[in-house]
């Protein structure tokens, strides 16, 4: 069984979101006469997304050869499948999903958000790997 998911920071959705945010900031500045410091704060908030787009930062997840491996930019991690008790999938209040590996001693490892595949595909890969997983509708922490 082998599963691999990878994404790049250089996606059309990211480009559209950046352009839309910058156009909205420009409209606020020019048409609504917003203060320059407000526009500067808005611009500063978009800079990490712009850097991810420029650098085409890679993120992903793989399940193969008895290991679950994940990467996000320069950060990497892995866990042997036989050391994972279950995978906890939680919906957060902002609508996104969070995945945590629960180890036998109760220790939890949270996977980076940008390395997660679509949840239906991820659940299928977990089933194929024989990993137990459970979904929780909302989790604030």
Q: What percent of the chain has pLDDT over 70?
A: 97
Cα atoms in the 13 Å half-sphere on the side-chain side of 140: 0
CATH code at 58-136: 2.30.29.30
* Domain boundaries defined on the chain: 8-55, 58-136
Using pLDDT thresholds of 50, 70 and 90, give the confidence band for residue 140. low
pLDDT, one tens digit per residue, over 45-104 is 999 989 988 988 899 999 998 999 999 988 999 999 999 999 999 988 888 899 999 999
d(CA 76, CA 70): 6
Predicted confidence band of residue 1 (pLDDT cuts 50, 70, 90): low
Confidence of residue 141 (pLDDT cuts 50, 70, 90): low
Q: Compute the average pLDDT of residues 18-30.
A: 95
Mean pLDDT of 1-7: 88
Predicted local distance difference test score (pLDDT) of residue 103 = 94
Q: Identify the CA nearest to 133 among candidates 111, 105, 102.
A: 102
Q: What is the pLDDT of residue 139?
A: 62
State the chain's mean pLDDT as an integer: 91
CB 132 within 8 A of CB 89: no
Per-position DSSP letters for the chain, written without gaps between them: --EEEEEES--HHHHHHHHHHHHHHHHHHHTS---HHHHHHHHHHHHHHHHHHHHT-EEEEEEETTEEEEEETTEEEEEEGGG--EEEEEE-TTS-EEEEEE-TTS-EEEPPGGG---HHHHHHHHHHHT--EEEES----
């Amino acid at each position: 069984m082998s599963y691999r998911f990878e994404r790049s920071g250089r996606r059309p959705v990211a480009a559209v979101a950046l352009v839309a945010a910058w156009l909205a900031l420009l409209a606020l500045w020019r048409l609504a006469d917003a203060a320059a410091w407000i526009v500067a704060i808005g611009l500063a908030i978009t800079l990490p997304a712009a850097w991810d787009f420029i650098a085409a930062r890679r993120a992903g997840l793989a399940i193969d050869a008895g290991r679950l491996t994940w990467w996000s930019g320069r950060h990497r991690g892995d866990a042997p499948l036989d050391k994972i008790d279950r995978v906890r999938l939680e919906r957060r209040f902002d609508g996104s999903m969070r995945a945590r590996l629960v180890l036998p001693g109760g220790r939890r490892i949270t996977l980076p958000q940008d390395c997660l595949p679509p949840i239906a595909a991820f659940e299928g890969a977990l089933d194929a790997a024989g990993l137990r997983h459970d979904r929780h509708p909302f989790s604030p922490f």
